[in-house]
Chains A and B, each alone.
Chain A
Amino acid sequence: MNMIRSYGPYDKMMDLIGSNYALLQVMNRFGIPLGLGEQTVEEACMNYGVHCPTFIAVMNFVSEGSSRLDENMENISVPALIGYLRNTHSYFLDFYFPLIKDKLTEAIPASPDGMKTLILKCFDDYASLVRKHMESEEDTVFAYAGSLLDGECPDGYEISTFSKHHDQVGEKLTEFKNILIKYCPSNSDNNLLNSALLDIYYSEEGLDTHCRVEDLLFVPAIQRLEKTVAEKRRTAENGK
């Protein structure tokens, strides 16, 4: 049962994926390709320049169902985690959403009442909400983390400002999904439409997991960083 056992650096990559295919995504977004043969986690990380403890932390977090808050995560690298989160953003915005849109475009026939155009426009609207959410995260939160890493402590902003209002971005897709289920034209190509719907379900889950990585791995890591920077600052001031 993969719930209990945690993965370590000497596990084979193949065994990880074999036990839980959700980990494929983690691997992909850390920039580790397939075709790794017998390589272990540590070897694969070394070969592809991935920060191994961070990779393992995310792997275990996701494979355990993305709900466990673990306070012993001091070895996570914030830059590596940000890289992973950015890749996740771009996976959805630049790859997955366009793919869904293509399927919808093909599945829904053009009709005089303009439903096809309306549904596609509706999808664009929801996708752009997700885009806005993610872009603002990159502009504010990741930028803030960047300055903390440089040892600066920008006044007037704390990670809790972000986390308190960090809403579930997957929710936006839920609404579109429900609209599609309720109102899509019945003469659509149902196999293709179903496939698009399943992609949307999958995106919802994926975005959900993504938000949990942010809330339960990223935010605590930044809180620790805030503490360290503040302490350093205090020591420096006392030394004067």
Chain B
Amino acid sequence: MGNDKFINIAVAESSIIIRTGITNVLKKLPGLRPQLIEMASADGLQNYMRAKPVDLLIVNPAFGGHFDIAGFRKKAEAKDTKAIALLSTFIDNSVLANYDGNISIFDGPETISEKINEVISGPEQDDEEKTDTLSQREKDIVIRIVKGMTNKEIADDLFLSVHTVITHRRNISRKLQIHSVSGLTIYAIVNKLVELKDIRHQIG
């Protein structure tokens, strides 16, 4: 799931050959939809990060002479940024300890993909979380959403708290990858959860 998730990746490497190379590999990784920014200088990186948060920084530890990863970590704009070291030569382990992971220029696509996933999403989620079929309770809620009921009305109708309804809605959107009522309506019709007459108000 989540194969359309955008993630903002900055590649900081002064060699254009390596930089373009890794960018092209990342573009082709399945299940990842990266927004890639190539950085050729440390100043560029700093200016960019001031304007926009970066989810993942892939950086040559020798970027700009020596990349100050410890200093980078302390910056407010980098607090949610993960950092992966990009290795083209041997680098001392004490340096690598400051990074969340590392990729060698000799790694294959599968290895790179695994390493990135590990850094971004942490340990594998359990299978329960990954299922994208709706539970009966979630279907009940979908039916009421597409009939045009508010969260409060749904909560009262199903004897739930509004908070619980909102949690269900969030899970429904995640499972189906649909965030709009009109999209949910299509899902509900196709899966015969509702009939046309139930949703007349939407079609007008």
Contacts and interface: CB of A to CB of B under 8 A. Distances in A.
B186 A119 contact: yes
B35 A176 contact: no
A119, A159, A179 interface centre (most CB from chain B within 10 Å): A179
Nearest to B203: A117
B182 A215 contact: no
A67 B23 contact: yes
A67 B36 contact: yes
Contact of A215 (B51, B177, B178, B180): B51
Contact of A125 (B35, B47, B180, B187): B180
B52 A175 contact: no
A71 B16 contact: no
B180 A118 contact: no
A69 B39 contact: yes
Interface in B68-116: none
A212 B51 CA distance: 13
Contacts of B196: 112-114
Contacts of A176: 183
A215 B23 CA distance: 18
A113, A118, A126, A160 interface centre (most CB from chain B within 10 Å): A118
B145 to A, nearest CB: 14
Contacts of B6: 168, 171
A240 interface: no
Contacts of B187: 179, 183
Given A126-B180, A175-B180, A219-B51, A114 B38 contact: no
Contacts, number: 101
A160 B51 contact: yes
A19 interface: no
Contacts of B177: 175, 178
Interface string B52-80: 11000000000000000000000000000
B183 A122 contact: yes
A183 B187 CA distance: 7
A82 B186 CA distance: 38
A131 to B, nearest CB: 14
Interface string A136-180: 000000000000000000000001100110101001001110110
Interface in B142-184: 177-183
Contacts of B43: 71
Interface majority SS (helix, strand, loop, mixed), chain B: helix
A3 to B, nearest CB: 7
Interface string A203-240: 00000100010011001100100000000000000000
Interface majority SS (helix, strand, loop, mixed), chain A: helix
Contacts of A112: 196
B18 interface: no
A44 B195 CA distance: 58
Interface string A109-131: 00011110111011001100000
A174 B2 CA distance: 12
B12 to A, nearest CB: 10
A126 B181 CA distance: 11
B30 interface: no
A166 B52 contact: yes
A186 to B, nearest CB: 11
B186 A160 contact: no
A118 B189 contact: yes
A121 B51 contact: no
B75 to A, nearest CB: 14
Interface of A: 3-4, 65, 67-71, 112-115, 117-119, 121-122, 125-126, 159-160, 163-164, 166, 168, 171, 174-176, 178-179, 183, 208, 212, 215-216, 219-220, 223
CB-CB nearest 10 A-B residue pairs = A122-B182, A163-B51, A114-B196, A67-B36, A68-B38, A125-B182, A183-B190, A163-B52, A219-B51, A117-B203
7 contacts: A4-B16, A71-B41, A112-B196, A115-B186, A118-B189, A121-B203, A175-B4
